[in-house]
Structure 1
Amino acid sequence: MKKYMLLVMLLGACTTLHRTPVKDTTLPSIHSLTLLHKYIVPYNMPFNGTTVGGLSGIDYDSARKVYYLICDDRSERQAARFYTIQIPESNYDRDSIRFSRVTYLKTPNGNVYPSAKALAPDPEAMRYNPHTGRLVWSSEGERIISEQANIINDPGIYDIDTIGRYLDSYPLPAQFHMHATENGPRRNGVFEGLGFTPNGRHMFVSLEEPRYEDGPRADLRDTTAYTRIIKYDLRTRQPIAQYAYKLEPVAHPSIPGNAFRVNGISDILVLSETQLLVMERSYSTGVKSNTIRVFKVDLQHATDIKAVNSLRENPHFLPAQKSLLLNFDDLDTFVDNVEGMTFGPILPNGHRSLIFVVDNNFDKNEETQFYIFEVEQ
């Protein structure tokens, strides 16, 4: 696959966004994906007083033909924020991505998030809800255990308006509170994906890695790493179900062999009440490319495990069923830390597009990449 290195063109500021008509994006019969184009954003590209990077989630607003990109900067470089961008719908060789706006996330008291580790969020996922005109974003919280002091912040899921103002939060099931002991979620392995059913009645939120009680992290040849997907009723705003999801083994040995490696859910797309696309991201130290695998997932026969505190101690459950749709290893290109995906516009041939974005971790050795795929049904 040919690799395209295009500079990103900038536009002026956009106007405030409002509620938009709802369009059905249900795609229950996806058969394959074809890569159409790849963009690379220049490293540390400046935009409106911010540094572009750390792009961890993406969602498409079909009425305005813009995308919302959440940045996982923990207010260390600039205040926690998201971007509004445009991606060409054709003429990929000629046109490039255009950043049009940066919006700062606000705390309940109306201020931007501070840089203090005890107070800063860890933004990871964002979706636009066309039924409400609101955005929903998630934070992984924090869990730092040290002799000096512990920092324990719960993860969270928040409603905001399109200018970043805090509106509300969603109740957190008891299993997902952070602890100083090895209970609950692991650090940096919490809410990486979320999405709405097309009818706007439910929201699914995915946990990146297994909770301590649910078993070990994914590893080479490991088959016991189960993480969770939470289902919310958007009318009551309450969590109503949870489902177990078995992670694939880590794709490649790390170099050296005892160095860091991980596999987990980096994003989800909701197709229907029971069908999802789930993206797993496998990283191994010393291996240049990440292994990104996208699965079609069926929850129809999965056990509701919301009342089960430990999957390791209560192994009698049916996990979500999954089948591989795409492995980025099959692409002839360098694949970095892909963390976000969204359905894009309808292509001229009538097929829908699927867009992926990469979090470069603000590292000069990594790339902020965008991948544009054609969805074949």
Structure 2
Amino acid sequence: MSSSLIRRACAVALLVTSTLAPAAVSAVAAAPPGAPGPEPRRAVQARLLGEKTVPYKLAFQGTTVGGLSGIDRDRCTGEYVLISDDRSFLQPARFYTARLDVDAGGVHAVDFTGTRPLLQPDGSVYPSPALGDGKAIDPEEIRVDPLRCRYWWGQEGDRPAVAGAPVIQPSVEIADPDGAHRGRFRLPENYAITPDRGPRRNQAVEALTFGARGTVVTSAVEGPLVQDGPVPDVHQGALVRVTRQTRDGRVLGQFAYPIEKIFAESDPSSPWGPDTGVPSILAFPDDPERYLVLERTWVAGSGYKIRLYDTTTRGATDVRAVDSLADRPVVPMRKRLVADFHTLGLSTVDNTEGMTWGPVLPSGERSLILVSDDNFDQEAVTQFVALALR
């Protein structure tokens, strides 16, 4: 989750082209952490269809719309489901349903149709972190199970910044469309927060996707695990873990995804350091080893940089048994740039965190719908963006 103390960046228009294709790569190679694999070859193109901004702190059914960090389409209703990252500070942690009018002509309307609180196993709402009872959550991602149309939602938990505060483990919860709790997905062991291992604070599970017709669940941590080395800086990137699992939690493979270095130096007068990571991952419908990965970076004085990559686990080293990626030669996931949001012609580039597939267009292109998290900050926006990919 990025600081809300930002100045938003401007955008210029440009069509962006990238490529990606399967290639045979050795499973282990003497490459430094974060070094890219061989260049992919299959072309992917992205162009802007349009955008729509939701009013700041829109009041809807007794709640404040904002903090939208994840989006997915519910095939059982045809509507979209969005999760708010309000940790029960304003209202109980919740999700929204909405109808989106998106076609080749752009984003014509965003109409919210409902909202429900996310419920604990005992049927109660999640409490505010201010209570300090260790039961709070940090909702960041939501996906609709393509087999049962239940909602799987990810939350980052909390590695406390102060001694004595409770540790809240990251998790993926399962809910009915009315918000009722129906279970929990078993995450890999190295996603757990321990004193010297696991996700950093605010850099745990933000990315989740179903693939292979709903039989494979893929997740990514937002930033490098503590044991995997330092966070990115202006000189070098870092490796974050992406894990493929069966629906019952059996690990099929874990891979190192290389995130970019920080794009600019921070304003020295700002108390906030740069923030970067992977807030969303999305499986390609026809290739279980291929994903779109969203990278989101914020730098004080420079604003946001949002980039979308086409990537694959094919040929990457399986690192599930590797305790630390620091200085370990592995072949990371290969990636190619699909879009830098500053080149799309958007009215503003903000804290984009969620994405999902939209309708297939008459041109044969597949639409991609993204949403930004305004952090309930008047200087930010809740922005829906539609791209066409081919």
Q: Same fold (TM over 0.5)?
A: yes
State the shift of 1:198 in Å: 3.7
Preserved contact between residue 69 and residue 353 of structure 2 (Cα < 8 Å): yes
User: Equivalent residue for 1:50?
Assistant: 63
User: Equivalent residue for 1:185?
Assistant: 199
User: Equivalent residue for 2:252?
Assistant: 240
Preserved contact between residue 49 and residue 107 of structure 2 (Cα < 8 Å): no
1: CA distance between counterparts of 2:216 and 2:104? 36
What does residue range 120-131 of structure 1 map to in structure 2 within 5 Å?
Answer: 120-131=136-147
Preserved contact between residue 62 and residue 344 of structure 1 (Cα < 8 Å): no
Match of 2:155 among 139, 146, 150: 139
User: Equivalent residue for 1:151?
Assistant: 166
Instruction: For structure 2, list consecutive stretches of 5 or more residues without a partner in the other structure.
Output: 1-10, 14-40
User: Equivalent residue for 2:292?
Assistant: 277
Match of 1:59 among 72, 77, 90: 72
State the shift of 1:63 in Å: 4.8
Aligned-partner SS, 1:88: strand
Aligned-partner SS, 2:102: coil
Instruction: For structure 1, list consecutive stretches of 5 or more residues without a partner in the other structure.
Output: 4-27
1: CA distance between counterparts of 2:113 and 2:52? 17
2: CA distance between counterparts of 1:95 and 1:275? 30
User: Equivalent residue for 1:212?
Assistant: 226
User: Equivalent residue for 2:95?
Assistant: 82
Runs of 4+ aligned structure 1 residues displaced above 3 Å come to 90-95
Aligned-partner SS, 2:167: strand
Cα deviation digits, residues 238-279 of structure 1 (max 9, x gap)? 233211111101122211277410221110001122111101
State the shift of 1:369 in Å: 0.5
User: Equivalent residue for 2:6?
Assistant: none
Preserved contact between residue 184 and residue 211 of structure 1 (Cα < 8 Å): yes
State the shift of 1:70 in Å: 0.6
TM-score, normalised to structure 1, is 0.87
2: CA distance between counterparts of 1:243 and 1:93? 36
Whichever residue aligns with residue 204 of structure 2, its letter is V
State the shift of 1:304 in Å: 1.1
User: Equivalent residue for 2:22?
Assistant: none
1:203 aligns with 2:217: yes
User: Equivalent residue for 1:14?
Assistant: none
Cα RMSD for the two superposed structures:
2.1
What does residue range 306-325 of structure 1 map to in structure 2 within 5 Å?
Answer: 306-312=320-326, 315-325=328-338
2: CA distance between counterparts of 1:305 and 1:365? 41
Match of 2:380 among 366, 369, 374: 366
Cα deviation digits, residues 68-126 of structure 1 (max 9, x gap)? 00110101110011000011134867942100000111111111111134221101111
State the shift of 1:285 in Å: 1.3
| Farther-moved stretch of structure 1 (242-251 vs 165-174) | 165-174
2: CA distance between counterparts of 1:335 and 1:252? 16
Aligned-partner SS, 2:316: coil
1:171 aligns with 2:195: no
CA gap of 1:212–1:30, structure 2 versus 1, over 3 A, is same
User: Equivalent residue for 1:352?
Assistant: 366
TM-score, normalised to structure 2, is 0.84
Aligned-partner SS, 2:51: strand
Preserved contact between residue 193 and residue 265 of structure 1 (Cα < 8 Å): yes
Whichever residue aligns with residue 103 of structure 1, its letter is R
Preserved contact between residue 175 and residue 183 of structure 2 (Cα < 8 Å): yes
Aligned-partner SS, 1:199: helix
CA gap of 1:29–1:162, structure 2 versus 1, over 3 A, is farther
The structure showing larger relative contact order (alpha-carbon pairs under 8 Å, at least 6 residues apart) is 2
Whichever residue aligns with residue 253 of structure 1, its letter is E
State the shift of 1:177 in Å: 1.3
1: CA distance between counterparts of 2:106 and 2:295? 29
Would you say how many aligned residue pairs link Structure 1 and Structure 2?
346
1: CA distance between counterparts of 2:166 and 2:261? 30
2: CA distance between counterparts of 1:172 and 1:374? 33
Preserved contact between residue 108 and residue 167 of structure 1 (Cα < 8 Å): yes
Aligned-partner SS, 2:337: strand
What does residue range 319-338 of structure 1 map to in structure 2 within 5 Å?
Answer: 319-332=332-345, 333-338=347-352
